[in-house]
Chain A
Amino acid sequence: MSDNFLIKTTNLCKYYNGGKIKALNGVCSEIKKGEVVVVIGPSGSGKSTYLRSLNLLEHPTSGTILFENTDITDPKTNINLHRRKMGMVFQQFNLFPHMTVLKNLTIAPTKLLKMSADEANKKALQLLTRVGLADRADAYPSQLSGGQKQRVAIVRSLMMNPDVMLFDEPTSALDPEMVGEVLDVMKELAREGMTMIVVTHEMGFAREVADRIIFMADGCIVEEGTPDKIFSEPEDPRTKQFLNSIL
């Protein structure tokens, strides 16, 4: 790649109700390959909207998103092809309830990448083993705990060999005792060099794993920097206030 970044957003705006609500108000950001970026900020600051814009689950009102040097906001771009390269993990897991764990994992690669069923099953079992769930391959999502569901959901995204993983508060719907098992999987992913953008309130995770922290407020990126800088010497008063309120 000519440039060093995987994703670059320019002046991203997302308005609701005819401009009365500015969920995103001119977000410029660059995500480098292999980088782990944690997005923090108060409720309603636009974190989810930003993350969901990156794979066009939300269509930005204006601005551009370059992903692997393609402008995916261009209507002529086939977004379905690019979404395969962007894994997404949701707060509510969104596993397919009518399919077994194995089927949840294999449906996308077999249908979209034309992977053979054997190959997909093998890969699914490998990944399940790595997240400690090989014995649950034939279970249905409703038979899993929250932490197990989220690990399956992460694996489901990984099955497509994504170039970046987007996480929107992946542990917020979990009972406290299950948060750790999911964060551990994410840490391992980070260690392996996966590019990750994580919206989370887990400041311990942010401090430990993030290469960079983005602080958002009122639809804008207010401040960004290394965890050390953001946590020890935040500059913007809104960052200070936010960190005081949660730490």
Chain B
Amino acid sequence: MTLKEQFIFNFIEDSRWKHLLKGLGNTLTIAFFALLIGVVIGVVVAIIRSTYDKNRDSLARSSNILNYYAFACLNMICKIYLTVIRGTPVVVQLLIAYFIIFASSTNGIMVASIAFGINSGAYVAEILRGGIMSIDNGQFEAGRSLGFNYIHTMIYIIIPQVFKTVLPTLLNEFIALLKETSVAGYVGIIDLTKAGDIIRGRTFSAFMPLFTVAIVYLAMVMLLTWIVGRLERRLRKSER
């Protein structure tokens, strides 16, 4: 068969391209919501961890010792979360989420989004924490001396600077996340990878569907890289 014939056979006949389109949609949906969840978890965990690291002494001395214990407790929970998530394979986490934690749910896309989001959050948290710790303490002091409380100093002054410095690293995490969603087929979700595999199963020809899937992933990653590159250049304006 020529490439053209293969293409028609694999994608046009029986409208098999619809599998790919649906798979791509699911992949993007999962990756998008996982990204959102991951960033929210990441920001919260990073703030808790860095607040604890930076203020351990003053918290311990503060008149409200309960504050200290509450923070120590939160910090411990975050540490356990980071250890467990980063110490186990994402496929296993996905299976546990699907078959145990959310066993009663029929919405696989949602469960996968949450599972990948929780997974990604751990990596985002550590990236952001590194970023927060690298910001000069004078920035905190300037914010606090103007009258911002700790959280507002974080949100208005520190985190925007952190995002700028860690953008390339974060991008790598997002790319990894996008590609990791390709294991969603394990829990019966038809994502891009699974869709390609379904076509392969129907047509018994591996070349065309699998390479097409690979090229689509590659295109998405390159697009993402390009977008972030532009964003980075715009943010860098302030460093000229």
Instruction: Given A88-B145, A112-B147, check contact A94 B152 (CB 8 Å).
Output: no
Q: Are A108 and B139 in contact (CB under 8 A)?
A: no
| Cα–Cα distance between A80 and B235 once the two chains are bound (Å) | 30
The 8 Å CB contact of B148, one of A90, A100, A111, is: A111
Residues of chain B within 8 A of A57, CB atoms compared:
141, 144-145
Q: Are A142 and B146 in contact (CB under 8 A)?
A: no
Within 8 A of B (CB), among A50-81: 55, 57, 59, 75, 80-81
Q: Are A96 and B146 in contact (CB under 8 A)?
A: no
Interface string of B168-203 (1 = CB under 8 A from A): 000000000000000000000000000000000000
Q: Is B86 on the interface with A (CB-CB < 8 A)?
A: no
Number of interface residues of A (CB under 8 A): 31
Instruction: Given A80-B148, A81-B147, A83-B147, check contact A96 B240 (CB 8 Å).
Output: no
Q: Is A84 on the interface with B (CB-CB < 8 A)?
A: yes
Q: Are A96 and B147 in contact (CB under 8 A)?
A: no
Q: Are A80 and B141 in contact (CB under 8 A)?
A: no
| Cα–Cα distance between A158 and B157 once the two chains are bound (Å) | 19
Q: Is A98 on the interface with B (CB-CB < 8 A)?
A: yes
Instruction: Given A75-B64, A90-B138, check contact A108 B58 (CB 8 Å).
Output: no
Number of interface residues of B (CB under 8 A): 27
A155 to chain B, nearest CB (A): 12
Q: Is B4 on the interface with A (CB-CB < 8 A)?
A: no
Q: Are A96 and B149 in contact (CB under 8 A)?
A: no
Q: Is A24 on the interface with B (CB-CB < 8 A)?
A: no
Residues of chain A within 8 A of B240, CB atoms compared:
140, 142-143
What residue of chain A has the Cβ atom nearest to residue B160's Cβ? A98
The 8 Å CB contact of B146, one of A97, A98, A160, is: A160
Q: Is A107 on the interface with B (CB-CB < 8 A)?
A: yes
The 8 Å CB contact of A94, one of B138, B160, B238, is: B138
A198 to chain B, nearest CB (A): 15
Within 8 A of A (CB), among B141-164: 141-142, 144-149, 152, 156-157, 160-161, 164
Q: Is B15 on the interface with A (CB-CB < 8 A)?
A: no
Q: Are A86 and B142 in contact (CB under 8 A)?
A: no
Q: Are B161 and A97 in contact (CB under 8 A)?
A: yes
A11 to chain B, nearest CB (A): 18
Q: Are A94 and B141 in contact (CB under 8 A)?
A: yes
| Cα–Cα distance between A55 and B148 once the two chains are bound (Å) | 13
Q: Is A156 on the interface with B (CB-CB < 8 A)?
A: yes
Within 8 A of A (CB), among B106-155: 136, 138-139, 141-142, 144-149, 152
Q: Is B88 on the interface with A (CB-CB < 8 A)?
A: no
Chain B CB count within 10 A is highest, among A84, A95, A98, A112, for: A98
Residues of chain B whose beta carbon lies under 8 Å from any beta carbon of chain A: 58, 61-64, 136, 138-139, 141-142, 144-149, 152, 156-157, 160-161, 164, 235, 237-240
Inter-chain pairs besides A80-B147, A88-B145, A98-B161, 4 sampled, C-beta below 8 Å? A55-B145, A96-B157, A111-B152, A142-B239
25 A-B pairs with CB atoms under 8 Å apart are A57-B144, A59-B58, A75-B63, A75-B64, A83-B144, A88-B141, A88-B142, A90-B138, A90-B142, A92-B136, A92-B138, A94-B142, A96-B142, A97-B161, A107-B156, A107-B157, A108-B147, A111-B152, A112-B146, A112-B147, A140-B238, A140-B240, A142-B238, A143-B240, A156-B146
